[in-house]
Structure 1
């Protein structure tokens, strides 16, 4: 039996899924439009329904027992506040939504290094600061984090690429101290690991939902931009894409 890995992309128009072999050849793929599940692209339940539909369609054409790992990519900078059980507490702010709170933007401008991706009204950090006072909030997650959490049960972990716009220091590989100086509650930020690192295995509910083995691992994903770059095959030193 040839092992397969599954990649899932959740975007503003729909969800796509692909199963790949170790040699990067494609064993199956599927796509489902988001508007099948409502007209609001900001509805997390629609995201999850689209992912379920795309993954179910994909798995109908491959050997489910061969699936060994699943990873998610989503739109960079789309954030969602959740409670301790991963339930959304408010409508997410999408990647291109702007935070119009001058105090929040000024606090980031004062504290963040000039080169930080956390600057600007659309940054993940600006959105996290806007959400952090919601009653019952336990974490502020990126879109890919939340979808992966529905598979693994973990709503406390992210990847280095998604975390960049929230101020993560990818060189030091940690949340930098200056973030606290903006007034951000550091306990609401997820643990951050490298894309491809294992975050857990499927929950019993997720395994039953998709007819998959419980030992299928969920691995940290990436942003849609990074995923599309990798899809070009430009992985050697010196390669570039425009």
Structure 2
């Protein structure tokens, strides 16, 4: 059996596949609660999200108790990009900033002016934008919530956080890192030393 966990923009759901028969056995779903503390802000409580994941997994296990010993692999899909500062204990220090958060326009303009819009696009293959790039959110936090940044061990995304809670390892897939504005594109995707230096960050602060 295969287990799918899908965290979307409206709900968290699970799907159980029986590979021997090629059919969907069942699933469960739970709506998610999003936060908007100001008109230009969009957040989600990551711990509350994790509890929703646990809830749908429990519901599925109650429906199909035999699946617990038969699941061979778990696939996780999480909307992105997002920004979630984690402390040294791996727990969130504040709610996650979402892809539709627009608070960091000033940071976008300043970084484009200092680093160069074209230079950044050449390295990453993307334009720097509020919300849909992770870097501006980090710069916003540094300016407006320095106490959070001082305690941050890792600037993660929700996908990396859920993976960490499931496996104990904070890992980020390339598609998510590609929209961080911190990752050099091409055949060998990696955190860009030039962008990290300009942003005052190190690779050790990222998944």
TM-score, normalised to structure 2's length? 0.77
Quote the residue 2:39 is aligned against: none
Provide the residue aligned with 1:177 in structure 2. 193
Offset, 1:173: 2.0
| SS state at 2:111 partner | helix
Work out the CA distance in 1 between the residues paired with 2:197 and 2:173.
23
Q: Displacement, 1:68?
A: 1.9
- Higher helix fraction (1 or 2): 2
For the residue of structure 2 that corresponds to 1:32, the secondary structure is: strand
Q: Partners in 2 of 1:138 and 1:170 — Cα distance?
A: 28
CA distance in 1, matches of 2:152, 2:186: 26
Structure 2 match to 1:166: 180
Residues 191-222 of structure 1: CA deviation (Å, up to 9, x unaligned): xxxxxxxxxxxxxxxxxxxxxxxxxxxxxxxx
Aligned-pair CA distance for 1:91: 2.0
Alignment partner of 1:147: what SS? helix
Structural RMSD (CA): 2.3
How many residue pairs align between the two structures?
A: 183
Which residue of the partner structure matches residue 154 of structure 2? Answer: 139
Q: Provide closer, same or farther for how the CA distance between residues 189 and 129 of structure 1 changes in structure 2, counting only shifts above 3 A.
A: farther
Structure 2, unmatched stretches of 5+, are: 36-42
Per the alignment, do residues 77 and 45 of structure 1 end up closer, same or farther by CA in structure 2, a change over 3 Å counting? same
Distance 1:170 1:43, change over 3 A: farther
The within-5 A match list for 1:40-119 is: 40=35, 42-62=44-64, 63-100=67-104, 102-108=106-112, 110=116, 111-114=119-122, 116-117=125-126, 119=128
TM-score computed with the length of structure 1 as normaliser: 0.67
Q: Distance in 2 between matches of 1:104 and 1:181?
A: 16
Question: How far is 1:85 from its partner?
Answer: 1.6
